[in-house]
Amino acid sequence: MAGDFLTGHADVPTAVDSVKRGAFDFCEKPFSDNALVDRVEQALHLSQTRLTARKEQQRLQSRLLELTDRERDVMHLVVEGLPNKLIADQLDISVRTVEVHRARVFDKMEVKSAVELANLMRSLS
């Protein structure tokens, strides 16, 4: 993300273009030093927030890649809210096998519940 755009000769098309290209803000001279510093601090905070979110998304994607195909199948059905018995029936495996895969999914995805897993998966969208 670009920072602020500062100019002494601005027009509306230039301002619009600057913002479309990623400028956080568009300031015209004369400007208040305090206001400029405030906007730069806001831009830095927003940038840090976005970087943190991007890193978390990459970490989540990495955890998803650690799942086996069967664990992924079980995970999707858990997220849909199906109980272990229905998951076992749908995948034609035993309930005990579902429990083992489910536990591995929770461990690999670093969650403690199906609700937490569902919320985590929703954050990918």
60-70, pLDDT tens digit by residue?
A: 999 999 999 99
CB neighbours of residue 122 within 10 Å = 9
For residue 16, what is the domain's CATH number? 3.40.50.2300
Domain CATH code at residue 74: 1.10.10.10
Pairing of strands 4-7, 25-28: parallel
Prediction pTM value:
0.66
Asked if 16 and 48 sit in the same domain, the reply is yes
Greatest C-alpha distance within the chain = 72
Same domain, 41 and 56: yes
Rounded Cα distance between 49 and 39, Å, is 15
- Domain span including residue 40: 4-61
Neighbour tally for 58: CB within 10 Å:
10
Q: Which residues of the chain are modeled with pLDDT < 50?
A: 1
**Domains in the chain, number:** 2
